[in-house]
Structure 1
Amino acid sequence: MFIKTGRLLAAATIALTAMPAIAQDLRYAHVGAEGDIQTRYAEEAAAEIAAATDGAVTVQVFPASQLGGVSEMVGGVQMGSIQMGHHDFASLAQMVPDVSVFNAPFIYRDGAHALAATDPATSPALQQINEQLVEQGGVRIIGRIYRGARHISSNFEVKSPDDLAGKPFRAVPLDLWVSMVTGFGATPTPVEVAELPTALMTGLVVGQENPLTMITSNSLHEVQSHVAMTGHMQSVLAVFINESVWQDLSEEAQAQITEVLDAKAEESLVWAQESEAELVAELTDRGMTVITEEDGLDIDAFRERVLAQINGDFPSYQPFIEQIMAIE
């Protein structure tokens, strides 16, 4: 009897050991629309994380503000009701104000530099900020997305900050954007992305700034006539996760997820670079006038005024900017 019972217990132990770990299902939210690079990134990353972890981690993506706007999404990740999300680094500024520096205008040489400066594994500036995010907000940045350079769209010609003087211009509802739009010479008017087409159509704002992918995917050519190719920001988004959720994952799963997100970041850079010329042609075909330096666009004037405004409003950014600019 004892031998039989012992065999049963041994068999049960082997069976339990052989059982796969319970799958961890993560809800991943963002505000990007269909057709945007960030939407493609999230969908492909979700599929590749499930494959890389052999189903131990599954990710369900909720795009286009399905789980709320930026504030609701970030708050949800903090609380853990949403496990993952992505948006501009500045969306995490309610926890650590200096994280906004990674969205500061005119600080990156190009898209490759932006990705290097925001690599959670190698960027000293981001590692320092990440420690504060974990400690003060319970959130960790684990990846990033490159969406392309941000440009100004409007319903009139814009060649210098003087052309925007006193005009209501959409600002992402974050302090950094309000400061930047002030540097543009315009009157900052916070508008959530889901409300942007209506705000432009009704004249609540007369212009906005975003990567060409967003301008195209949101059909802003229907409510805007011009695009000024200012390239004032290299649009790089933070991918972040609830810290408790992250720590509940095995080290193997963490490494697999990180590997997927790093590879997708590099792919997003390629997508953005390959698509910009095509998007310019597409917007032109749709009736928009594209303004470049050859047409008299004064990017130096924008750079000078915007950086003066940012430096005055956010003096604590300077050490981080120096670290960012030093990255090869």
Structure 2
Amino acid sequence: MFLWKTGKIVALAAAAMTALPVAAQDLRYAHVGAEGDIQTRYAAEAAAGIQEATGGEVTVQVFPASQLGGVSEMVDGVRMGSIQMGHHDFASLAQIVPDVSVFNAPFIYRDGAHALAATDPETSPALQEINARLVEEGGVRIIGRIYRGARHISSNFEIKSPDDMAGKPFRAVPLDLWVSMVKGFGATPTPVEVAELPTALMTGLVVGQENPLTMITSNKLYEVQSHVAMTGHMQSVLAVFINESVWQELSEENRAKISEVLDRKAEESLAWAEESEGALVDELTAAGMTFTTPEAGLDIDAFREKVLAQINADFPQYGPHIEQIMAVE
């Protein structure tokens, strides 16, 4: 009788344990985007979508606007696992695998849709190859991407060709690829973290920078810049990445659900960017900025020629990856 009762108690205890809800896995997600930027909307909506899709088994707390540090600190945090997720330009992961910067190279994408297709973790041959190296060498995996729009050059004077930028200090994202690109512009690259950019422009440390119109608007750069040259030199696509150990701790089902949410949000980010650009031009014009377009004498071919020459000289190893990227339909 005692054994039967004991067995019954054990069985009841086991049943109770299986009925307990699965403990939620809480992920800290960091990025440097400001309020109003597409990347900030993406992160907030992706976090909500992940919680809903996983039935609360995975929750995501987002820390925007460099709350957990600049780009280097964020990437180091994800590598160590103190920050579980983050997003930034692909080139921010170059400290792990230098070739990942190729996905931010200027003048390699036909448009935003091509940029998203070429950076799809599930289907892009170039990204799958580099992602495997990121996992092996740094314990970090790219699991999604964000489209923020084409990047353009802002300044406090009119720019029509690289000659107009010659020798002038321009902000470069503190990554080797950006330094090379700004050299190709003809300017003097000056690395500045995004959180320090408005002050750097206001004090004259730099006289211009390049970013999507969403960022120029959300960071109120119109208060310290007067002109935008619509070069569209780079399709701004960001990598969403996660600590590999954390990723493997998630169930296969939840990994699939998270990937679905991030892929859907990537396509939505493209729509947000395309829908907003015209309105942003109007908004920035009303704020006092002047736009220079090819119709007004902007020589995009001169920018393309000089920038690609500089990139090819500084990063000859990108050649095979660029061919893979350009071949994506």
Structures share a fold, TM > 0.5?
Answer: yes
List aligned pairs for 1:6-21, cutoff 5 A. 6-21=7-22
Task: Please give the alpha-carbon distance, in whole angstroms, between the structure 2 residues aligned to 1:111 and 1:326.
Answer: 15
Map 1:226-241 → 2, pairs under 5 A: 226-241=227-242
Question: Counterpart of 2:136 in structure 1: which amino acid?
Answer: E
The corresponding residue for 1:284 is: 285
Residue number in structure 2 paired with 1:327 = 328
Gap regions ≥5 residues in structure 1: none
Task: Tell me if 1:28 matches 2:29.
Answer: yes
Note the 1:292-307 alignment, pairs <5 A.
Answer: 292-307=293-308
Give the secondary structure class of the aligned counterpart of 1:177.
helix
When structure 1 is superposed on structure 2, of 1-10 and 182-191 the one drifting more is 1-10
Taking the aligned partners of 1:215 and 1:200, their CA distance within structure 2 comes to: 12
SS of aligned partner of 2:318: helix
Match of residue 89 from structure 1: 90
Distance in 1, Cα, partners of 2:91 & 2:235: 13
Moved more, 14-23 or 140-149: 14-23
Q: Could you tell me how far 1:21 is from its partner in structure 2?
A: 1.6
AA matched with 1:171 = A
**1:210 maps to what in 2?**
211
What is the deviation of 1:269? 0.1
Distance 2:91 2:279 in 1: 29
Superposed structure 1 runs of 4+ greater than 3 Å apart: none
Q: 1:204 offset after TM fit, Å?
A: 0.2
Aligned residue pairs total: 328
Q: List aligned pairs for 1:218-229, cutoff 5 A.
A: 218-229=219-230
Structure 1 CA distance, aligned partners of 2:7 and 2:313? 75
* Letter of the 2:111 counterpart: D
The one-letter code of the counterpart of 1:233 is M
Q: In the aligned structure 1, how far is the partner of 2:279 from the partner of 2:308?
A: 30
Q: CA deviation at 1:110?
A: 0.2
Please name the residue that 1:310 is paired with: 311
Give unpaired runs (5+ residues) of structure 2: none
Partner of 1:146: 147
Structure 1 residue 237: Cα displacement: 0.1
**Residues 1-328 of structure 1 correspond to what in structure 2 (within 5 A)?**
1-328=2-329
- Structure 1 residue 238: Cα displacement: 0.1
Structure 2 residue identity aligned to 1:320: H
SS of aligned partner of 2:159: coil
1:296: Cα distance to partner? 0.3
What SS is found at the alignment partner of 1:144?
A: strand
Deviation of the 1:169 alpha carbon: 0.2
Distance 1:282 1:19 in 2: 53
1:4 positional shift: 1.8
Q: Distance in 2 between matches of 1:91 and 1:6?
A: 57
Q: TM-score, normalised by structure 1?
A: 1.00
Q: CA deviation at 1:323?
A: 0.2
Mapped partners of 1:18, 1:317: distance in 2: 53
Kindly provide the CA deviation profile for residues 121-174 of structure 1, in whole angstroms up to 9, marking residues without a partner as x: 000000000000000010000000000000000000000000000000000000
| Equivalent-residue separation in structure 1 for 2:22 and 2:251 (angstroms) | 10
CA distance in 1, matches of 2:197, 2:303: 23
Aligned counterparts of 2:131 and 2:16: Cα–Cα separation in 1: 41
Classify the secondary structure of the residue corresponding to 2:35.
coil
Farther-moved stretch of structure 1 (78-87 vs 17-26): 17-26
Q: Which amino acid aligns with 1:149?
A: A
> Which amino acid letter does the alignment assign opposite residue 212 of structure 1?
L
The alpha-carbon deviation at position 231 of structure 1 amounts to 0.2
Query: What is the identity, as a one-letter code, of the residue corresponding to 1:155?
Result: N
State the secondary structure of the residue aligned to 2:49.
Answer: helix
- The one-letter amino acid of 2:240's match is V
Once the 2 structures are TM-superposed, how far is the Cα of residue 2 of structure 1 from its aligned partner?
1.9
Q: C-alpha separation between the residues in 2 aligned to 1:225 and 1:324?
A: 35
Counterpart secondary structure, 1:224: coil
The residue type paired with residue 183 of structure 1 is: G
SS of residue paired to 2:321: helix
Deviations 1:21-40 (CA, angstroms, capped at 9, x unpaired)? 21100000000000000000
Deviates more, 1:6-15 or 1:295-304: 6-15
Q: 1 CA distance for matches of 2:198 and 2:227? A: 15
- The AA in structure 2 aligned to 1:82 is I
In structure 1, C-alpha distance between the alignment counterparts of 2:230 and 2:67, rounded to whole Å: 31
Equivalent-residue separation in structure 1 for 2:279 and 2:21 (angstroms): 46
Aligned-pair CA distance for 1:15: 1.0
**Aligned-partner SS, 2:153:** strand
CA RMSD of aligned residues (A): 0.4
SS in 2 for 1:311: helix
